[in-house]
Structure 1
């Protein structure tokens, strides 16, 4: 297909910018609250006033209306900056054109009044200067509005990219939840099936239920507390099948349908309790999971009776990911670990 001729491109051009200039996009109140909080650059005020004073100092010393030119020019400069700040707060085409047409109307009315009052010759002599100043002011407003709109658009894109990156990090962190647990469980299941062990069938049922509860969490950013506890319950049932009498546990968490949390959060705390509190001990141990409401907060606790925190301990990948995902989803939530004498106590506080 041949390229359009210059004349056709000229006809297809958007000529509305000649009569109704300004940014095409209109930002919603939510978008402005999210990305439009940059303060007005005070340097613009300093730049305008310094240049205005310099121009007045060079051009008006011998003028016969010197006494009122300075205050009038400074007041007009202040009004120009006030309109600029108004456009900065909400950079819309409607506001820009309202300001431009109001200024054009005022300049026209002012010129007519000056001519009627007997200043026709002086008005005609100063008209080119007035029109040049008006064109400079309107162009400055136009450029400021376009710049501000592009600044907000860029900030919205940046925030959207950050949100996408955080969601990806959250899913990657979720995918890191003890993958060796799956392989160890499958290995135990295969061994019990090969040897005809009666524990194979119950383990397979619990493992299937665990996967059914776990797999949807990779598609969620938040999930109900009840689903999280059910996933933890299945996980502990599988671990008890593997560890036998070495693992005992109890869960006492009230039904809280309105409480949401990142998927796998409590599960990671339970996995850490088994890995560091139960498995290292030949006798095994006990894990207690409780939930209690304190005012507007729900406090979840995961406690084991193992050896506790070792001196100089540091958070591993799983716990670091858990803390990051928690702060991302709910900045008001807290997660603490402390020695319980015996064992370790992990406390998760969720606003609700």
Structure 2
């Protein structure tokens, strides 16, 4: 049973907010760049100007000597909005207090100047209104700064949640890619060891190299294309050892092709080509992997000469996860599957 918390003492309050108000959170340049610059709400300008015009219309309707207030008040409104936009771009307590103290000194200096210019009575009469307007402006700046800080924090939390979901999706994809392949390979390896088959040693070497290269990769969000191709090459070598003459493959990826992609993406397409195109056929088949640049985009293709897409086929879990991970990393990327007569071609396009 929890005990009720003791009421906060006035001594525990943050009294520094009286002299130095504003948010304590200061965002780094990287955090600001990551959060992005949300657009300034244009409706705020319209709301302020409409209210200023109505206020001036009411207060100066019968006092023509105060017609000078129109440009003065509208000019001050424009200046207050300019400061608000300045705070919007970088909402810090330092900027907020700098703006507030400068505004206070300007208003105090204007009052002293008006008194020395012979406007003592007018200044005394308008002092409550001036203080009310200044307090409203300073309070609006304070609320705007707090709102902007909360908006940036919410955006950073959203991006962090997206990154966490992407990392989890990557790990789930790795779990879906590996189990049946690992178990089947281990079963073949055990059988060959038990029977003294000479293929056991090369398979073990390829399998060890595959695991050493693959397991750390799934901790990354993106990895170089060369690393992905190396992982695929090891996978195909293992599958060729298991399937023998039933599987042949070719990889046509230029060595200087510089690109990144989510780890295991190309591997999933190759695995699907073998599982659904090569293994079901008694005669086996061929898998070709190619990469090229086309109009500023990277195009990867995985083609097999198997039975092709079945009528009414739908995406499986592995392909659906692949597409989701691809679009999370590159919203403009595409992934298509088409009949190749014979076989199937998976085409992956990534923006530069």
Structure 2, unpaired ranges of 5+: none
Q: Equivalent residue of 2:244, what SS?
A: helix
Q: Equivalent residue of 2:192, what SS?
A: helix
Distance 2:284 2:48 in 1: 76
Match of 1:31 in 2: 31
Contact 1:189 1:200 in 2 (8 A): yes
Map 1:82-101 to 2 at 5 A: 82-101=82-101
Match of 1:278 in 2: 278
Match of 1:166 in 2: 166
Distance 1:289 1:132 in 2: 72
Match of 1:347 in 2: 347
Question: Cα offset for 1:272?
Answer: 1.0
Question: Cα offset for 1:46?
Answer: 3.5
Computed over aligned residues only, the root mean square deviation of the Cα atoms, in angstroms, reads 2.9
Match of 2:249 in 1: 249
Map 1:281-300 to 2 at 5 A: 281-294=281-294, 297-300=297-300
Match of 1:235 in 2: 235
Is 2:215 the partner of 1:222? no
Match of 2:80 in 1: 80
Question: Cα offset for 1:248?
Answer: 1.9
Distance 2:34 2:245 in 1: 54
Map 1:50-129 to 2 at 5 A: 50-63=50-63, 65-129=65-129
Number of residue pairs matched by the alignment = 348
TM-score computed with the length of structure 1 as normaliser? 0.86
The range that moved more, 22-31 or 156-165, is: 22-31
Question: Cα offset for 1:57?
Answer: 4.2
Distance 2:70 2:170 in 1: 61
Question: Cα offset for 1:294?
Answer: 5.0
The range that moved more, 178-187 or 133-142, is: 178-187
Contact 1:175 1:218 in 2 (8 A): no
Map 1:156-195 to 2 at 5 A: 156-195=156-195
Contact 1:36 1:89 in 2 (8 A): no
CA pair 230-131 structure 1, distance change in 2 beyond 3 A = closer
Runs of 4+ in 1 over 6 A off after TM superposition: 3-7
The range that moved more, 342-351 or 109-118, is: 342-351
Contact 1:96 1:142 in 2 (8 A): yes
Contact 2:170 2:218 in 1 (8 A): no
Question: Cα offset for 1:132?
Answer: 2.1
Distance 2:26 2:217 in 1: 37
Contact 2:167 2:219 in 1 (8 A): no
Match of 1:318 in 2: 318
CA pair 291-150 structure 1, distance change in 2 beyond 3 A = closer
The range that moved more, 197-206 or 17-26, is: 197-206
Distance 1:341 1:350 in 2: 25
Match of 1:42 in 2: 42
